[in-house]
Amino acid sequence: MAASCWGLPQLLCEFPSLPNKSLRVMRKGIDEGFRDIVRTYSDAIDAATAPLQIFLNMLEDAFTKAPWLLVLVLLVAVVWFGSRSWKTVVGTVIAMLLIGVFGLWTDTMTTLAMVTVATFVAILIGLPLGILMARSDRFQSFLSPLLDVMQTLPSFVYLIPVVVIFGIGKVPGLIAVVIYAVPPMIRLTNLGIRLVDRDVIEAADAYGASPRQKLWGVQLPLSLPTIMTGVNQTIMMSLSMVVVASMVGVGGLGKNVLQAITNQYFTVGFLNGFALVAIAIIFDRTSQAFGNRIQKHQGAGHD
């Protein structure tokens, strides 16, 4: 065999791979088989995603068609309830007024609807799975590698199977956002429950508490600050994924950012990016402050 790089044989310089023809046949077989499955169960897939479509459309209509002043008042009320900080409230009012002045109100409301539904679905999925992980080491060892893959896989890759299965539209984008955003909710729910003081669990056992009573009366309340951190991270990841999900038909600010990148519209991209950052900061400050208040309240209760 002829010498190659560094005087080594060719076999050691170039990794031996399958012939191109074999790779093409294999990829074609997998792709066609996947498409056949999707065509066969397309009606069932549409029926399964219909509630998500209805929920998302209802919330988006409520946000975009309601008077802007009413939406602003409700948003400020939520921020005040979560943060109890006038600085956060004032910052929210200023940011939302600037968003409206620059003509981004409707797109922002569309993005808010998407993030709200994605966060809600992620919590519905992540909370039970996190509880199961905390109660079963075997389930944790099974699910942890899947979560590692979900968190390290490039966000664009999520769109490929989602588009193949669900097509183009808001619901496929929503599903991609949920897949990307749900791992922190699962992990931090698991972590919060496992970090509950063992002495407290033993005290509950001594009082004859059932596993359900321990979960709802002891473990979940004490792990609520950690769970709220998971909610915070889920919201942040949902917002970051909205831009990528705009490639499959999700509207709102993400669509505008994608168009700005494609057409090199600096001002459009900057303004829509500012709106996304403003929403992210509002949600981040509110959820963090709410989690801190819960933690202080529990600390005062233990004292």
Query: What does pLDDT average to in each consecutive run of 10 residues of the chain (303 residues)?
Result: 61 73 82 79 81 88 91 93 89 93 90 90 93 91 90 78 79 87 93 87 82 84 87 88 78 80 80 88 86 69 54
Distance CA 192, CA 221 (A): 10
pLDDT of residue 73: 94
Residue 253 identity (one-letter amino acid): L
pLDDT of residue 155: 74
Q: Which residues, 6 or more positions from 290, have their beta carbon under 8 angstroms from its beta carbon? A: 82, 83, 228
Name the residue among 266, 281, 272, 270 with its Cα closest to residue 111: 272
pLDDT of residue 241: 85
Distance CA 195, CA 222 (A): 9
pTM value is 0.83
pLDDT of residue 150: 84
pLDDT of residue 185: 93
Number of neighbouring beta carbons within 10 Å of residue 268: 16
pLDDT of residue 175: 87
DSSP character at residue 7 = G
Nearest-5° Cα angle at 81, 80 to 87: 25
Q: Encoding tokens for residue 68?
A: 């802007």
Assign domain 22-295 to its CATH architecture. Answer: Orthogonal Bundle (1.10)
Contact predicate 144/183, CB 8 Å: no
